Amino acid sequence: MLKNKKLIRTILMIAAVALVIIQFFQIDKTNPSIDAAQDFIQNTNPPAEIATILKTACYDCHSHTTKYPWYTNIQPLAWWIKGHVDNGNKHLNYSTWSTYSAKKKAHKIEEMVEMVERKEMPMLSYMVAHNEAWIDAGQRKALVDWFNTLQ
């Protein structure tokens, strides 16, 4: 029994030291510069309600306007969040919308409709951390209907 307590104590000590050490490896929170002429909202001119939904529920992970909250100073949480942001921008970046070809834009709009309809976006983990990102059924429908007007 004494050996097990010692082993558990040693494991906890190693985990605590590792947790402290990884705090020195912070993520890069620098957003790339933005050319407003390339922005999705600028190019598509949505109604104000739609623009607000996009800004509060989508842009944080799908544009170069990410706002990194205080908890992105805590590892490994920050690495996980940065991975989501990088992945989100890789798949769809509203800040570079006008650089997409017509075919790519059409495909991205189809994907936006599909992801919003299936309630895959915004991600639940994002909405839990950002109360303003919760969108109700009516807002979801308005967003999908508006996306469909772009096709």
Tell me the per-residue pLDDT of 27-69, one tens digit each, with 9 for 90 and over: 999 999 999 999 999 999 999 999 999 999 999 999 999 999 9
Residue found by looking up tokens 């990088």 in the block: 86
For residue 39, the enclosing domain spans 28-149
Kindly state whether residue 97 falls inside one of the protein's structural domains. yes
Judge whether 132 lies within some domain: yes
Low-confidence residues in the chain, pLDDT < 70:
1-2
**1 within a domain of the structure (yes/no):** no
* pLDDT for residue 151: 84
In a domain, 126, yes or no: yes
Tell me what pLDDT residue 3 has.
76
* Tokens 């990410």 sit on residue: 66
Q: What is the pLDDT of residue 1?
A: 63
pLDDT of residue 2: 67
Domain count, the chain: 1
Phi and psi at residue 113, to the nearest 5°: -60, -50
User: Exposed/middle/buried for 58, CB within 10 Å: 0-12, 13-18, 19+?
Assistant: buried
- The pLDDT value recorded for residue 4 is 86
Asked if residue 8 belongs to a domain, the reply is no
pLDDT of residue 130: 93
For the residues of 41-102, what is the DSSP string, one character each?
HHHH---HHHHHHHHHHTTTTSSS-----GGGGSTTHHHHHHHHHHHHHHH--GGGGGGS-H
Q: Is residue 20 part of a domain?
A: no
Residue 12 lies in a domain: no
